[in-house]
Amino acid sequence: MKKTALIMAGGRGERFWPRSRKSCPKQFLSLTGDGKTMIQLTVERILPLVDMEDIYVVTNRDYRELVHEQLPELPEENILCESVGRNTAPCIGLGAVHMAKKYEDAIMYVLPSDHLIKYNAIFLRTLDDAAQVAEEQGNLVTIGITPDYPETGYGYIRFLPREGKGRAFRVDRFVEKPDLETAKSYLATEQYLWNSGMFIWRLSTILSELEKNLPETSAGLQRIAAAIGTDGEQRVLEREYEAFSSESIDYGVMEKAEHIYTLPGSFGWNDVGSWLAVEKIRPTNEFGNVVEGNAVTVDTVRCIIQGGEKLIAAVGLEDMIIVDTPDALLVCDKSDAGSIKKVLENLKICNRNEYL
C-alpha cells in the first residue's frame, strides 16, 4: 500500500532559548553538530520508506519560508500552514484530508519534526512492522519507546503483553506524565512504554476515527477539504482553524478508540526536550564537557557550552549550561534548566519581544 508521511512542525519550543526563538524554533535548529536541522534529519530518515512528494509538513504559517528553505526538494504544496496552533488532532486531520485528495487510501506515518533517532535501520524496520499492522482497516498504531529510566516528563502507554497483532501489542490505556514513584512502579511492571507521539494508520481509518470521536473537528476538516484547490481555500482554512477546539490526538482519539496497538521501539530515541539532552546526543570530552564554538575551559567539568565565534572562557564551573548567541547569552545551572521559561516570562512581561 502507498505510504505517506505527515511531519508535525508547528511547535514553538522555548526550552532551547536563546538559540531557539519564536522566529526559529527547535525543529529548525541543528543540535547534533552535523549542520543538519532536526526537520531535515526527520525527512532524510523517512525517505527510504516514503517518496518526497508524499511527505507533508504541517507548520505555523510563520514558518512556511523556513520549511521551504530547509527542505527545498519538498513540493511547496506539501507545506500545510496553520494560522493558529490547535494541538495535534486538527493538525493530523489537516494532513489527512490533503492526502485523501491525492490517494483514495494510504498508510500515513505521523512524525514529530523535533526528535532524534540514533539507529535509523531499526527505526525503519519498526515503522515497516507498524505499517503491516495498520494496513488492517480500523487499527491505530503508536510507537512506544522502551524506557531506560523512570522519566517523569513523558506520557506512558500501558500495553497488554498477551494480546497483539503482528509485532505490535494491544494498548490498554494511555497515562499522563507520572510522578517519580509512579514512574518507578511503571518500570517495575514491565508493561509501560513511553509515548513517542509517532503514529501509523490508514488515511481512511484516522478520518473515520476523527468523525466518530471529534465530529465537529471532522466537519470542519471536510469543509477545508472541499475548498482545497478553490479560490476560497485559504479563507476557509483560516476560518475553520480559528473555530477548532484544541485537541491532542492522544486524548481526542486514541483514548476513545478501540484497536489501538503499540510497537516497542528501541532505536536510540531522544525527544531533545531541553539543553540537558545535548549531552546525550553529542560527544563529551575528557572533562565531561560538550563544547561547540570557540571556548577555553579551566577547571571546568560536565558543562554544556554552545557558542560561536566569540571566545567563551569557562573557569571553575561544574554542571552549567552556557549558550551564547549574537544578541543573547544564557548562563544556567543544569539543575535549573526548567527555569529558562521564567526568563521568557520575564521578557514577555517587559515587552522585550525582540528576544523571544
Q: Taking the complex as a whole, how short is the minimal distance between the CB of residue 290 and its own copies, in angstroms?
A: 15
Q: Taking the complex as a whole, how short is the minimal distance between the CB of residue 301 and its own copies, in angstroms?
A: 11
Q: Which is nearer to its own copies, 187 or 356 (CB)?
A: 356
Q: Which is nearer to its own copies, 106 or 330 (CB)?
A: 330
Task: Give CA–CA dist 46/55, Å, rounded.
Answer: 9
Q: Residues 6 or more apart from 272 whose CB is under 8 A from it? A: 26, 31, 38, 114, 115, 116, 278, 281
Q: Taking the complex as a whole, how short is the minimal distance between the CB of residue 289 and its own copies, in angstroms?
A: 12
Half-sphere exposure of 24 (CA within 13 A, CB side): 14
Task: Give CA–CA dist 356/353, Å, rounded.
Answer: 5
Question: Per CB under 8 A, does 287 bind its own copies?
Answer: no
Grid cell 521568557 is found at 344
Question: Per CB under 8 A, does 121 bind its own copies?
Answer: no
Question: Per CB under 8 A, does 291 bind its own copies?
Answer: no
Grid cell 548562563 is found at 331
Contact 46, 110 (CB under 8 A): no
Q: Residues 6 or more apart from 118 whose CB is under 8 A from it? A: 267, 268, 269, 270
Question: Per CB under 8 A, does 324 bind its own copies?
Answer: yes
Question: Per CB under 8 A, does 304 bind its own copies?
Answer: no
Residue 87's SS3 state is coil
Q: Which of 35, 72, 283, 315 binds its own copies (CB under 8 A)?
A: 315
* CA-closest candidate to residue 144, choices 321, 35, 269: 269
Question: Per CB under 8 A, does 277 bind its own copies?
Answer: no
Q: Which of 10, 18, 178, 220 binds its own copies (CB under 8 A)?
A: 18
Contact 254, 209 (CB under 8 A): no
Q: Taking the complex as a whole, how short is the minimal distance between the CB of residue 325 and its own copies, in angstroms?
A: 9
Q: Which is nearer to its own copies, 96 or 320 (CB)?
A: 320
Interface residues with its own copies (CB under 8 A) are 17-18, 296, 298-299, 307, 310-318, 320, 322, 324, 326-333, 335-337, 339-340, 342-343, 346-347, 352, 355
